[in-house]
A and B are shown apart, each in its own frame.
Chain A
Amino acid sequence: MKPISKIHSDEAIILEIRLGGIHGELAKTNLFRQYAYFVRKRPAKYGLTEEDALDAYTDAYLAVIDHIKSGRFRGESSIKTYLSRIFRNKCVDKARRNATMKVDWVEEFPDLRDESRNFLQTIISREELKGVRKKLALLNEKCREMLLMSAEGYSPLEIAQKLNLATARSASSQRYKCLEKLKKMMK
């Protein structure tokens, strides 16, 4: 697979992703496709299959989207360089995981401070988190959709628009109510 000719400037991609909506979605898809050739040009030294490399690429891409939205990506390098660096790190992680089969659960909480990571690992083990996903099925559909949208990085305003809620504030408060419900089910 060859690189696709560049059809969006970095500035346009960043702006559209931050603005969200249909154009944001298009920009995200274009970004994913633009650098998907990384998968085939993966670093050979880690011995990853195409499937593993695709897994690493999707992880890297999702991290970049998250960093663009949160402002953590400050445009000091091009998106291509930034994505390529994260992709390389994810390939290393993937190779390590393949060797040890261990995944640290706190990886799902990338915003946690380092001190908190160590602390939380002392109060909750990986085993305790097994099977928790099944409990999502017990939630009503609206709550499930709202929580999933929030986890996918949609802003309260976007959630309000998609779920026909009056304001971003009501989306936030309903999200907390849904989270409360799910939390009770986890006890």
Chain B
Amino acid sequence: MTELIDKYLKGELSEEERVAFEKRVEEDPYFRGEVKGQIKAEYAIRTKAKKVKKQALKAEYARLVAETDELRRIQPLYRRSSFLIVAAAAVVLLIVAVRLWGNSPKMNADELFAAYIQPVPLSFSRSESDTAMLSLATAYQGASYAQAISAAERLLKDSAYASSAQLWLSLAISQLMTDQPQAALRSLKQIEPGSAYEEQALWYEALALLKVDPALARGKLAEIADSGHYMQKKAGEMLERMEEE
């Protein structure tokens, strides 16, 4: 009987079965009691589950707001949205543009790396039971990259995670942030073409190459600048600023 009522509540009965079900509810007081009891039980479970889920989502939103505010605080001037800052930046840029007319400032590979490296915000599962993932999330999001490296390496030894593009990406970025470009390149190679993180992998590969082989970095940046990559504009900007070899 529980299964039948369950199917009714999930809209899984045929039209004929539904009509017969409702007729039985009207005519049979015992069956009506069963249906009412099950609706109360389902209602209790569904509203409780929804409440728990919504609390978790609201906490996630609060974390996101905090992270965004933090990012905004450390973002370069030109990316801040406040009108006054944008206006001030525009004035400064105008002055700089006039002074450096036709002579854009050049940077060497290390300077370019320092100017453009920024870890992409990644979100990880924060399930209390998944302690390994939780410690990676805490370390990565708290910019403790050495700890993030050991947490990611530990997780990647587990066959369940060994092909996780997100984990390889977080490992590579953490390696770049701790000045290990060769190791980062090896980690990025583990991200399969066609993965959801393919574009990020290409971008960080170009940044890692700046430290290892600027000529190859130039090729990668040109590849990004010529495609519909999400960092297309930045890559073009970097190529313009890159010193001639």
Point out residues on A near B: beta carbons under 8 Å: 1-2, 4-9, 12, 22-23, 25-26, 29-30, 32-33, 36, 39, 54-55, 57-59, 61-62, 105, 108-109, 111-113, 115-116, 119-120, 123-124, 128-129, 132-133, 135-136, 147-148, 150-152, 176, 179-180, 182-187
Contacts and interface: CB of A to CB of B under 8 A. Distances in A.
Contacts of B154: none
B35 interface: yes
B84 interface: no
B64 A36 contact: yes
Interface string B1-44: 01100101111100000100010010000001111111111111
B8 A116 contact: yes
A33 B64 contact: yes
Contacts of B35: 123
B45 A148 contact: yes
B200 interface: yes
A176 B35 CA distance: 14
Interface string B161-173: 1001010000000
Contacts of A111: 9-12
Central interface residue in A58, A59, A135, by most chain B CB within 10 Å = A58
B116 interface: no
Interface of B: 2-3, 6, 8-12, 18, 22, 25, 32-50, 52-54, 57-58, 60-61, 64-65, 68, 81, 120-127, 130, 133, 160-161, 164, 166, 196-197, 200, 230
Contacts of A113: 11, 18
Contacts of B124: 26, 29
Given A23-B164, A123-B35, A133-B47, A179 B58 contact: no
A108 B37 contact: no
